[in-house]
């Protein structure tokens, strides 16, 4: 059933393009131009179903084993303990791509594993690092006191410099960034600041997938969603997501092609509670353990409370209209030369953003070339599809790069 909604990838050599190539845009339009399930769903329902389906597919599919690529590195002045990253290098000169995964994700989470496989097959050196809101990041015990995103941006740069030394600068032809969700916002910050340097590090551009347009709005929406779906999840949806039949329906594609009424009703609650709140509680417990705080972590923990009690450095960036939590601000801070190399991928039904906000004048230099807005996919729900892998190959494959 799943193959019914995954359109086969036809590889056509493409000319290298700073932003999304014409072939990539056409490929996305053909593969993500329609929702494969019921037509009567609202965008909110469609996005939630796609998000749960994508997350379930990542959980049940076997992914690349990154154990041989695992390294723990010391970054004095940034962390008290070593931080775990993954580096896979080629045995020849090749471009380096630095992957910053989404919220809660360690450097070997499913999305990072998939991206490592795809990009290494396309002859890239691949570095993945943990998100700043992940348990591995918390275990490393940050000692910097800069408010977000200054310290987090410096971590990305310093880990990238470490990887360049490990691989050897002479074995690297270029360096680019690939960020996902909150990691995409962090990547935008890193790229904007780097573009202002006399000798930029990330000369090959930045690809931002499903970034939040405004961190304040995204966090507020998630907190509201967690609070409003509490009772529904506890009374009904908790049992639904745990059932083997649900996992089977996700794997076979039935969950997205023909969702039941219960699945449609429960999808937002599962996203809020299973994907976000449960992971937020795990992160708080890790911070407790690392810092020996001995605090009780409430079952109804919200992002706002987590920030107040565990991550006060994020408070400023989460204020309404704060520029540091704004994707638009960081894109505007990017030099005009570097801005040509920015690519964005998102979905119409990504519940973290209002899709109309992308149309605001001045957001991007060339919106039709720089942003792909898939008709469906929710929040990162497309990342385990063959079509998504195909899009990356069309855009980033060897034939698409300048030799």
The CA distances from residue 303 to 12, 235, 276, 281, 311, in Å, are 44, 23, 9, 10, 10
Secondary structure (3-state) at 52: helix
First CA to last CA across the chain, in angstroms?
Answer: 39
Q: What is the DSSP string of 249-273?
A: HHHHTHHHHS--HHHHHHHHHHIII
Specify the length of the chain in residues: 403
The C-alpha atoms of residue 174 and residue 35 are separated, in whole angstroms, by 37
pTM: 0.93
Cross-strand partners of 206: 177, 342
Q: Which domain holds residue 397?
A: 1-403
pLDDT digits (tens, 9 = 90+) for 153-178: 999 999 999 999 999 999 999 999 99
pLDDT digits (tens, 9 = 90+) for 226-249: 999 999 999 999 999 989 999 999
124 is written with which tokens? 């890239």
Checking if the pLDDT of 299 tops 70, the result is yes
Checking if the pLDDT of 58 tops 90, the result is no
Are the C-beta atoms of 194 and 201 separated by less than 8 Å? yes
Which domain CATH number covers 104?
3.40.50.1820
Among the listed residues 106, 387, 357, the one whose alpha carbon sits nearest the alpha carbon of residue 221:
357
pLDDT digits (tens, 9 = 90+) for 20-56: 999 999 999 999 989 999 999 999 999 999 999 999 9
Domain count for the chain: 1
CA dihedral 182, 288, 112, 194 (to 10 degrees): 50
């Amino acid at each position: 059933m799943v193959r019914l909604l995954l359109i086969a990838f036809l590889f056509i050599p493409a000319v290298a393009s700073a932003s999304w190539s014409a072939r990539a845009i056409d490929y996305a339009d053909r593969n993500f131009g329609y929702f494969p399930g019921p037509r009567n769903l609202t965008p909110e329902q469609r996005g939630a179903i796609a998000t749960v389906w994508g997350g379930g597919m990542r959980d049940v599919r076997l992914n690349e084993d990154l154990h041989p690529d695992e390294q723990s590195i010391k970054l004095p002045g940034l962390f008290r303990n070593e931080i775990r990253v993954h580096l896979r290098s080629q045995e020849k000169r090749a471009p380096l791509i630095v992957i910053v995964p989404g919220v809660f994700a360690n450097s070997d989470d499913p999305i990072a594993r998939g991206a490592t496989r795809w990009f290494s097959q396309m002859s890239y050196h691949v570095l993945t690092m943990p998100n700043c809101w992940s348990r591995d990041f918390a275990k490393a015990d940050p000692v910097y006191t800069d408010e977000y995103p200054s310290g987090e941006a410096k971590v990305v740069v310093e880990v990238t410099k470490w990887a360049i030394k490990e691989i050897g600068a002479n074995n690297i032809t270029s360096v680019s960034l690939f960020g996902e969700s909150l990691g995409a916002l962090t990547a935008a910050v890193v790229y904007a600041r780097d573009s202002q340097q006399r000798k930029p590090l990330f000369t090959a551009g930045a690809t931002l997938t499903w970034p939040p347009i405004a961190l304040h709005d995204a966090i507020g929406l998630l907190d509201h969603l967690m609070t409003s779906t509490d009772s529904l999840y506890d009374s009904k949806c908790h049992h639904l997501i745990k059932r083997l039949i649900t996992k089977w329906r996700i794997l076979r594609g039935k969950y997205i092609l023909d969702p039941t009424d219960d699945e449609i009703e429960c999808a937002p609650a599962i996203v809020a509670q299973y994907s976000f709140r449960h992971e937020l509680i795990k992160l708080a417990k890790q911070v407790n353990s690392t810092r020996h705080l001995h605090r009780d972590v409430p079952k109804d923990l919200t992002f706002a409370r987590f920030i107040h009690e565990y991550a006060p450095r994020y408070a400023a960036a989460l204020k309404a209209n704060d520029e540091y939590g704004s994707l638009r601000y960081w894109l505007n801070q990017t030099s005009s030369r570097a801005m040509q190399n920015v690519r964005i991928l998102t979905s119409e039904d990504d519940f973290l953003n209002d899709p109309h906000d992308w149309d605001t004048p001045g957001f991007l230099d060339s919106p039709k070339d720089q942003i792909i807005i898939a008709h469906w996919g929710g929040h990162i729900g497309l990342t385990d599809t063959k079509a998504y892998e195909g899009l990356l190959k069309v855009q980033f494959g060897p034939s698409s790069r300048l030799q």
